[in-house]
Amino acid sequence: MPGTKSASSSQDAVDLKLDLGSPPESAKKLQNKDFSLLNGSPSELPSLEKTKGITAFQTLVHLVKGNMGTGILGLPLAVKNAGILMGPLSLLAMGFIACHCMHILVRCAQHFCHRLNRPFMDYADTVMHGLEASPSAWLRKHAHWGRHMVSFFLILTQLGFCCVYIVFLADNLKQVVEAINGTTNNCHYNETVILTPTLDSRLYMLAFLPVLVLLALIRNLRVLSVFSMLANLSMLLSLVIIAQYSVQEIPDSSQLPLIASWKTYSLFFGTAIFSFESIGVVLPLENKMKNTRRFPAILSLGMFIITALYIGIGVLGYMRFENDIKASITLNLPNCWLYQSVKLLYVAGILCTYTLQFYVPAEIIIPFAISQVSKRWALLLDLSIRFTMVCLTCILAILIPRLDLVISLVGSVSSSALALIIPPLLEIATYYSEGMSPLTIVKDSLISILGFMGFVAGTYQALDELIQPGHSVTFSNSTMLIQ
């Protein structure tokens, strides 16, 4: 998330945001834009040729930035759902597996770039060509479905992000408003603040709807890059303040369970894989680097930093607040203006990021829809679809107001498919005909099975929690008092 220091590196950072895709050739342009936008990294429709790439450090910064969203704020609750020992160990294992799957995707993309003599291969292209190279005649015949499948999961993931953002915005703003009369400048005075009930959380979501609609109407990627920078700066400052508070006055954690129930562990899986969802920015970043040979090392270093940060925030947050930890750690911060400003900063950052995440499904769906009508109806249809999609995310957020369950559900359903299930199967399809080690096949099969088990268990548990009596009216994210 942090911006670059010098003017030249700052320009390179903007260039990356505005130039992660492929040349503006309808469908090809669309696919590359889609994946470079994942997790808030917008791309431009670059008509300019790539004159110079980004440095290794800039690539590392953007890779780390691509993982910074609302997911990290839910990791303390995720650690609680797994246990104080099992949680960090599982995060470490998932970070390693996610990094390995990213390396698989890069290796397969490079393989097809060399074979087809193409400078760049996006996620959807790689999957399609992987199926075309498979030994199965049926898969080769239906290889184009690989592209459609990736696009489907990407739409699902990005709209899920948007739903999470709406719930997050409502919960945090609601708490700030309800505690405003008792908010002080003294952050060291440990006083219980009774929140003054105001509007229902669902009404806060509706209140954000007009703003979100206006943001979704922005189609200029240069404007979106400004929103991206504002979001990055506000989130970075918020995380620094959260970490600073979490390390203070950590109580005795010897009574915390080392391993939690397997039922809650499935919720942990969904939240954790939701947080690690940055596989879509990997190929655009590799394509933009000056020296692509250094990318595997940068990818490993970036994922190490990300995993260490996730473990640190997750463990510290759980140890600091123990069983009182909320779906977002921002909801546990004390009632003084410094920490209330953290919520407002993150609200501003997520509000800016909403339009970036929304851009991905919009640019997949709208061009296809417009191609079916005459040119005079194109603009009206474009605006209508954007309005409808924003309303859809708001409706879904209202129907599922529990932030922890929304994150777990999105992570289990779509993030696990993109990050864990597809890459290992892609490697088997790509290299099987050229000879593969049986050990590699077993390894890839186990990773995909793990991802599928997490998909099934996490989805089942999240849906089971949602349909429990009373959950439809219980807003577990909202705190009734702050210690």
Q: What is the pLDDT of residues 265-291, one digit of tens each?
A: 888 888 888 888 677 778 878 888 888
The residue-averaged pLDDT of 150-155 equals 87
Least confident interval from 31-45, 242-256, 309-323: 31-45
Query: Which residue, 271, 229, 269, is CA-closest to 407?
Result: 271
Least confident interval from 20-29, 66-75, 263-272: 20-29
The residue-averaged pLDDT of 455-469 equals 79
* pLDDT value for 304: 93
The residue-averaged pLDDT of 203-231 equals 81
The alpha carbon of 154 is separated from its chain's Cα centroid by a whole number of angstroms, namely 11
128 and 109 Cβ atoms separated by less than 8 Å: no
* pLDDT value for 76: 92
Residue 123 has pLDDT above 60, yes or no: yes
Q: What are phi and psi of 475, to 5 degrees?
A: -110, 90
* pLDDT value for 47: 33
- DSSP at 120: -
Query: Which residue, 250, 272, 254, 161, is CA-closest to 212?
Result: 161
Which token pair is 248? 């203070």
Beta-bridge mates of residue 482: 193
90 and 41 Cβ atoms separated by less than 8 Å: no
Please state whether 435 falls in left (phi above 0), alpha (psi between -120 and 50) or beta. Answer: left
Residue 141 has pLDDT above 60, yes or no: yes
Residue 478 has pLDDT above 60, yes or no: no
The residue-averaged pLDDT of 395-406 equals 81
Alpha carbons 451 and 418: distance in angstroms, whole number: 10
Which band of pLDDT confidence, cut at 50, 70 and 90, is reported for residue 442? very high
Q: Tell me: the pLDDT tens digits for 87-106? A: 999 999 999 999 999 999 99
Least confident interval from 206-215, 260-269, 372-381: 260-269
Percentage of residues in the chain with pLDDT exceeding 90? Answer: 24
Residue 164 has pLDDT above 70, yes or no: yes
Least confident interval from 46-55, 137-146, 297-306, 408-417: 46-55
- Max mean pLDDT among 10-19, 69-78, 334-343 falls in 69-78
Residue 224 has pLDDT above 90, yes or no: no
127 and 153 Cβ atoms separated by less than 8 Å: no
* pLDDT value for 131: 92
Q: Look up tokens 């599922």; give the residue.
A: 400
Alpha carbons 82 and 73: distance in angstroms, whole number: 16
Alpha carbons 35 and 155: distance in angstroms, whole number: 11
Which band of pLDDT confidence, cut at 50, 70 and 90, is reported for residue 17? very low
Q: Look up tokens 């679809």; give the residue.
A: 385
Q: Tell me: the pLDDT tens digits for 32-64? A: 444 344 333 333 333 333 445 778 888 887 787
Query: Which residue, 156, 210, 221, is CA-closest to 24?
Result: 221
Residue 353 has pLDDT above 60, yes or no: yes
291 and 51 Cβ atoms separated by less than 8 Å: no
* pLDDT value for 229: 74
Residue 225 has pLDDT above 50, yes or no: yes
- Max mean pLDDT among 169-178, 232-241, 311-320, 460-469 falls in 311-320
Least confident interval from 169-178, 295-304, 305-314: 169-178
Which token pair is 78? 């995720």
Residue 252, CA distances (Å) to 87, 248, 318, 320, 322 in order: 18, 12, 12, 9, 10
349 and 230 Cβ atoms separated by less than 8 Å: yes
* pLDDT value for 104: 95
Alpha carbons 188 and 208: distance in angstroms, whole number: 33
pLDDT, averaged across the chain: 78
DSSP 3-state of 400: coil
100 and 268 Cβ atoms separated by less than 8 Å: no
Percentage of residues in the chain with pLDDT exceeding 70? Answer: 81
* pLDDT value for 40: 37
Alpha carbons 129 and 121: distance in angstroms, whole number: 10
DSSP 3-state of 54: strand
The residue-averaged pLDDT of 167-180 equals 84
164 and 407 Cβ atoms separated by less than 8 Å: yes
Which token pair is 314? 């997750």
Alpha carbons 379 and 75: distance in angstroms, whole number: 41
CATH of domain 7-482: 1.20.1740.10
Residue 242, CA distances (Å) to 177, 222, 248, 352 in order: 20, 31, 10, 20
Residue 407 has pLDDT above 60, yes or no: yes
412 and 273 Cβ atoms separated by less than 8 Å: yes
Query: Which residue, 30, 45, 49, is CA-closest to 122?
Result: 30
Query: Residue 150 CB: number of other CB atoms within 10 A?
Result: 24
Residue 188 has pLDDT above 80, yes or no: no
Q: What are phi and psi of 184, to 5 degrees?
A: -125, 180
Residue 347 has pLDDT above 80, yes or no: yes
Query: Residue 55 CB: number of other CB atoms within 10 A?
Result: 17
pTM of the complete model: 0.75
Which band of pLDDT confidence, cut at 50, 70 and 90, is reported for residue 1? very low
Query: Which residue, 232, 236, 251, 243, is CA-closest to 75?
Result: 243
Alpha carbons 474 and 469: distance in angstroms, whole number: 10
